[in-house]
Structure 1
Amino acid sequence: MNVSQTMTTEETLTCLHIYLYHPEQATQPLYNLLPLNRLHKRSAEDSVRLGRDGQTCTFVLNDARVSRKQISFQAYRKAGSADMRFTVQNISQKGKVVANGCELGYLERADLEDKALLRFGRYELLILREPGESQDSFEVLFEKRNIPPSREMGVDVNFRSAVMETGMRSYQNGGPLSQEPLESDETLFE
């Protein structure tokens, strides 16, 4: 028997490469619950949820200012195409998500290009889709960025104006300045 007939071929998987940035990441353990720098294989049928609730989210941010369920990524293919693509959906009832400059309200979704910039709260995520051949699974890879992706991409992000437009609070007149989402955790009051 020919060797080439007995060897199994290895499929390359599409990779959803997520670079994370937060201005306080050097002083806060925001990513200590995330599997940084390790590939994680996911079924194409399952959504990838990111938020602070470890029971409902696939991946968790260690940040009380993040919604319990913040964003969701879903794989899909267009009819007649073998390329696996992704959508992002805002699953936060309180916070806004901005995907490539387009604001997404609760349950709104947007198709992601091969390179996309997502923002919520003070987080910036650079999303890169690395194509692969598999039809039924993909990989997710999280890495930390030390420079805001918006600066690398030449996008002007003014958090102060974004705060005013997206329902985030800001205290002044002697109080602390906060640009975090307005969200309460209902479970704290039970």
Structure 2
Amino acid sequence: MNVSQTMKTEENLTCLYVKLYHPDQATQPLYSLLPLNCLYKMNAEDPVRLGRDGQACTFVLNDAKVSRKQISFQAYRKARSPEIRFTVQNISQRGKIVVNGSELGYLERADLEDKALLRFGRYELLIWRQPGDSQDSFEVLFEKQNYPPSREMGLEIPCSVAVMDTVLGNYQNNGPLSPEPLESDETLVYE
């Protein structure tokens, strides 16, 4: 056998890009537990969980105001389509997330468009999908963004306050939004 027949071809994986912004990110190590600027390969059947609990979540935010389990991304394919797509699910029992202006309560999920703006607490996440060929795995790439992604999306949403205090409800007219998670964890020591 010649070498070209035995070598595995390089896969072009779908990539889930996540740009993170928090108004206090310059003064607090919120992303110190995340693999920033590094591609992280995931099995397509495994959810990408983000929260503060390192045992329950794939990726961890170093922030006591974030729920232990905050959000989950799940890969899926539509019938007769080779493309990997993603849903986002709110897995926080106490906090809400806002996806492109629509609020998701506990265990509610939404299909992600190719580009989406997620908000919870004082965080803004700009998420986009770069299509690939693989059907059994994908990559995740976390990056810190120095300005609110809402500005990039053409929305003027102040992120210096929690989701409930913003004017985001004016975009959707669904009333007041929820505060950042208020969970307490007896293992945390508060000063």
TM-score, normalised on structure 1?
0.87
Are 1:89 and 2:100 an aligned pair? no
| Structure-to-structure mapping, 1:174-189, within 5 angstroms | 180-185=180-185
Residue 56 of structure 2 corresponds to which residue in structure 1?
Answer: 56
Distance change in 2, residues 1:79/1:100 (3 Å): same
When structure 1 is superposed on structure 2, of 151-160 and 137-146 the one drifting more is: 151-160
Note the alpha carbon deviations across 1:119-150, whole angstroms, 9 max, x for none.
Answer: 00000000010110001000000000001000
- What corresponds to 2:178 in structure 1? 167
1:12 alignment partner in structure 2: 12
Q: Structure 2: any 5+ residue segments left out of the alignment?
A: 166-175
RMSD: 1.9
Which residue in 2 is equivalent to 1:24? 24
The 4+ residue runs of structure 1 with deviation greater than 4 A are 1-4, 158-161, 186-189
**Residues 51-92 of structure 1: per-residue CA shift (max 9 Å, x gap):** 000000000000000000000000000001001000000000
For residues 90 and 39 of structure 1, the distance between their equivalents in structure 2, rounded to whole angstroms, comes to: 24
For residues 93-127 of structure 1, give each alpha carbon's deviation from its aligned partner in whole angstroms, at most 9, with x where no partner exists. Answer: 00000011110000000000110000000000000
Equivalent position amino acid for 2:127 in 1: I
Matched AA of 2:79: A
C-alpha separation between the residues in 2 aligned to 1:61 and 1:101? 23
d(CA) in 2 for partners of 1:74, 1:32: 24
Look up the match of 1:75.
75
Aligned to 1:66: 66
Structure 1 residues 167-189: Cα deviation after superposition (integer angstroms, max 9, x where no partner): 32xxxxxxxxxxx4322225569
- Structure 1: 5+ residue runs without aligned partners? 169-179
Aligned-pair CA distance for 1:155: 1.4
Structure 2 residue identity aligned to 1:24: D
Per the alignment, do residues 188 and 32 of structure 1 end up closer, same or farther by CA in structure 2, a change over 3 Å counting? closer
Within the alignment, does 1:35 sit opposite 2:35 as a pair? Answer: yes
CA-CA distance at 1:162 after TM superposition: 3.8
Alignment of 1:106-185 (within 5 A): 106-158=106-158, 162-164=163-165, 165-168=176-179, 180-185=180-185
Give the SS at the match of 1:107: coil
Mapped partners of 1:142, 1:161: distance in 2: 22
Give the Cα–Cα distance (whole angstroms) in 2 for the partners of residues 95 and 3 of structure 1.
Answer: 54
